[in-house]
Amino acid sequence: MTHPLRMSKLTLGLVAALAAAPAFAQSTSAGVGGQVVSTAGAPVAGAKVTITHTESGTVSRATTDASGRYAARGLRVGGPYTITINKPGEGTKTEEGVYLNLDKVTNVSTALTGDVATLDSVSVVASRLPDAFTQDNKGIATNLSRADLDRNPTPDRSIQNVVRMDPRVVVTDRDRGAFSAMGQNNRYNSITIDTINAGDPFGLNDNGLPTKGTPISQDAIESYNISTANFDVATRRGVGAWVNAVTKSGTNDFHGSAYYVYQNADDMVGKSQNGAKWTGFTKDTTKGATLGGPILKDKLFFFASYEESIKESPGAVWGAQDSDAASRVRGVTNADLARISQIASNYGMTAGDTTASNADIESKRYLAKFDWNINDFHRASLRFSQTKEDEPIITTSFSDQLKLSSNWYLVNKKSTSTALSFYDDWSDKFSTEASITYSKFDQARTPLVGGYQPELTIRTSGLDTGSSVVIGTEASSQANVLGTKSWNAYFAGNLFLGDHTIKAGFDYQQDEVYNLFLQRYNGTYEFNSIDDFQNGIYRRYRLNQPATGYDLGSDVAAQFKLKQYGLFIQDTWQATDRLSVQYGLRYDVPKVSPLPTLNPCFAADPGRLGNLSVCGLRNNPGNPNAATGGFGYANTGTIDGNSVVQPRVSFNYDFDTDRPTQLRGGAGLFISNTPAV
């Protein structure tokens, strides 16, 4: 770069090994730090460091200490940044085009000379080591900037296709979107966006997300940090992969995008080797737009995005034996279906058919974000997002059983979240980052056709075995509602003491869980023939209802609070110019309330008679009057009060070699998040 002005002569070495800075943990910001030395290699104390985010005018300031070190935290992710270092009598250096990574500290160390000369221009040539070779890097992680994401398109625009850019992460089920980090179960992964937990709160979905699709538009993401070994004590509740993302922010210039993505199954996927067509979808379309810019230049900014997608269903694969369906059920004819439908109508029921005219997956995603530069030492960010998804489930038919559309159901999902974050520099030696978040997730199963009805299984053979047709609301979907309300608070402070950086803080999470699940709430019937169905002669009828005096929504549903408290403290010690050591302690304790109601039958010893008035009897061919017994322990046990102390230590040693070479490692104890089911 060329600067036509009078300035000090200087030399620059971006020597990453000279700066000791701890990695962040599930943060929304970045950092920069380094050491300033004189031409003789002596530390320069009292040098003023000005860090400016060029596109928004956001400014952060720092001063070097007695060892010549400086540090700045809570900075915007990305860039470009201009970093100016000045000390009267020593020189001035301005470095432009610096980009900062999420959850990382970029190391910029400078050597100044005291010579002053009048120059028409001065050209500076600098080099920077890759982040993999900085002493900040003590674990195993992959950082993906916005430029990286743009260079690596993901056709399905999913998080799974992003995280697999880390070589330690493998997508284990492409259809369901499940991914594993270093062989761990996908439910051990931790996924956060702007510090808000974006994972599946109940642990039911294979993809580890609350929705079938991505929880947020990929065009709204600024950066990802994917870690499989993060020894920072602020890292919480995860033992697989930590996937942390931060959304874009507005700048002093208006910028936006509009996009349309289209996939045709016939053209894009084709057929399998045996000639079968792809049945995942017929068409998959996504369209959206983003817009960001200033509200008050250099002070207040906004960013917004909207996206909607529709994955069109190819329809049911199964049909009657005399239909043209790809798969046909033996022993069931179109005439049987017509007769069953007419009889069901006489009973006031809707049987449905084998078409899927309203079985498309539809998703909508909204995001709005505001950033406020309060002054050079304090800034704040407010973000709101919402995702809605309607996912139809076509219940599986078999070669001897055909399920009509009244047995299919729709999974309605809605996820809403709000995050408020503060980034503060209280002095050259102390900075803090704090956030408060609230999120709400609701999921309910509703019938795709016909409303709530009992489930009917009607055999076409006239026997209690053989081919059958199933109509009515699926047995496990007649009363199936999930919901969580989550509050989170996070605070971390960094104290810079020369060769030591002390981090301490706490985090808090409270989940209010609602889980209503009662099979056969509307009942299930089985008929041996279509004639029996017409005459109302059923072979078996089952119905589950709350006991007298108990309510479905308040008594049958599981309702409880799970609170999780975390405390942490850590020291990052730059022991030598080449050795950095990080050690700390984390303490987590969960609280559950109220405890489950005691079930005496569950707690009874196995094989014992137990309390017949409570447990009842179950028929046994060998002994019809034998009681089943229980499991031998109470069902009231929870993780309440099971605290865990987690020591962690890691190091990074940089070898003095021609090629960048370092040794790093660590050990520690971690705990996973707790699924609500």
Residue type, 604: A
Q: How confident is the model at residue 430 (pLDDT cuts 50, 70, 90)?
A: very high
The domains located in the chain, with CATH, are 7-117+130-138 (2.60.40.10)
Q: How confident is the model at residue 638 (pLDDT cuts 50, 70, 90)?
A: confident
Instruction: Tell whether omega for the bond before 675 is within 30 degrees of 0, i.e. cis.
Output: no
Q: How confident is the model at residue 565 (pLDDT cuts 50, 70, 90)?
A: very high
pLDDT at 18 over 50: no
Q: What DSSP string runs through 99-125?
A: EE-TT-EEE--EEEEEEEE--S--B--
**Rounded to two decimals, what is the model's pTM?**
0.81
* Mean pLDDT in residue range 613-642: 64
* Mean pLDDT in residue range 269-288: 68
Measured at the CA of 118, the angle between CA 117 and CA 124, to 5 degrees, comes to: 75
> Which tens digit of pLDDT belongs to each residue from 37-66?
887 778 888 888 889 998 888 888 888 888
* 32, β-bridge pairs: 72, 106
**3-class DSSP string for 260-319:** EEEEEHHHHCCECCCCCECCCCCEEEEEEEEEEEEEECCCEEEEEEEEEEEECCCCCCEE
pLDDT at 136 over 70: no
Q: What is the mean pLDDT of the chain?
A: 82
- Cβ proximity of 34 and 18 under 8 Å: yes
pLDDT at 199 over 90: no
Q: Kind and range of the H or E element at 459?
A: strand 455-459
Instruction: Tell whether omega for the bond before 80 is within 30 degrees of 0, i.e. cis.
Output: yes
3-state SS assignment for residue 584 = strand
Higher pLDDT, 278 or 105: 105
